[in-house]
Amino acid sequence: LFASFSTIRPKEGWQVYSSAQDADGRCICTVVAPEQNLCSRDAKGRQLRQLLEKVQNMSQSIEVLNLRTQRDFQYIMRMESQIKGLRSKFRQIESDRKTLVNKNFQELKGKMESLQPLIPVLEQYKTDSKLISQFKEEIRNLSGVLMAIQEEMGAYDYEELQQKILHLENRLHSCMNKLTCGKLMKITGPLTVKTSGTRFGAWMTDPQASPKNNRVWYMDSYTNNNIVKEYKSIADFVAGVASRTYNLPFKWAGTNHMVYNGSLYYNKMQSNIIVRYSFELGQVVTQRALESAGFHNVYPYTWGGFSDIDLMADELGLWAVYATNQNAGNIVISQLNPDTLQILKTWNTEYSKRNAGESFMICGTLYITNSHLTGAKVYYAYSTKTSTYEYTDIPFHNQYFHMSMLDYNARDRALYGWNNGHQVLFNVTLFHIIKTDDDS
């Protein structure tokens, strides 16, 4: 999926791991590394393989020539004895021309006819000798090229180089883990993953899952439904190959559900009860009412759809975003215990829930969009760390004109969206502060 990065474009064959920006948005640090399979596409490696193939082809040709010349040489050796016999016959004819001329002439004629096939053999032998000379010259040239490549490449072989790259990659991942929470600077995209379902729905992955676990959960519609589809990967999700289907005991309200650490958290229809459903156990393990929270379109987002209670997760844990009469219908943020669903702490904002398009949490800060329609942007940010807010102006492309779900995934560092029947992903650029080993 997406990784957080700035607008810097590395050279082809290199991938960006992270970047940092100052308060004005200027890039101050970018970590890049060669792709894992870069060595296999190295130009010198290709040249070396081509030369080796050429040497192999030449070796085969030389072997064929060698066999052929050996055969011809044996044939010539046999002809040599016949030529010696002819020489003695000529001497004999010289000594007694008259007596034996007739007899020896016939014999000589027969010998000459037997030697006739030797002519094309000698011609082929001559041609093969020239080819062998050419091959010898080419092999000398190739040896020089191979020596030059060996000197240029140095002492490293490819296996050793691959190990060094893997070691570097592990160090880079270790460096990535030192990135603290960041402030949202930019939203880019979207990437349309799939088009399916009704206009309203939710899809998500588990931010607490291991990197190898890329299961996708899919919940179509905003009400009167209790069927959750599970896919083993994004590829299976795109192909429509579901691995499992869950029938929840209670129907859900809205589209603001969350999968977190193997459990599904959702708002029970026509109530302010939050339900925790374990996928492993296939049953509800916890449910608790969110006291004073409005429900059933009392305090929804601007698009309605029973979106009164929005469950979300970020780097700091599980959250519920809702509104109460006590806070005059303005947004309330509560951090929840993922196991018991008890409220750990609550913050009251001054932003009207009904005027919010959608919202999401990143690093303990709630980002609120001003609309669910075109021209939407992140307009307001509330920090639970400082209990302060600020107005922002971070646009994002509402490609299909109606956003009914927008949630941040801390593992993928991406926003998952349901955009008018399209499942989309947005990339986020964060301003990071890098911790050092000296930091407490």
Q: What is the pLDDT of residue 374?
A: 85
Are the beta carbons of 381 and 392 closer than 8 angstroms? yes
Angle in degrees, 0-180, between the axes of helices 43-95 and 97-115, rounded to the nearest 10 = 160
- Top pLDDT among 161 and 382 is at 382
pLDDT tens figures, 104-147: 666 766 766 666 666 666 666 667 667 677 766 777 677 677 67
Q: What mean pLDDT, rounded, does the chain reach?
A: 81
pLDDT band at 154 (very low <50, low <70, confident <90, very high): low
CA distances from 298 to 309, 320, 322, 358, 366 (A): 10, 16, 10, 16, 21
- Top pLDDT among 210 and 94 is at 210
The neighbour count for residue 143, using CB atoms within 10 Å, is 12
pLDDT tens figures, 11-32: 444 454 444 555 555 545 544 4
Full-model pTM? 0.63
pLDDT at residue 373 is higher than 70 = yes
| Of 358, 281, 277, 279, nearest in space to 312 by CA | 358
Q: What is the pLDDT of residue 177?
A: 57
Tokens of 83: 């030529």
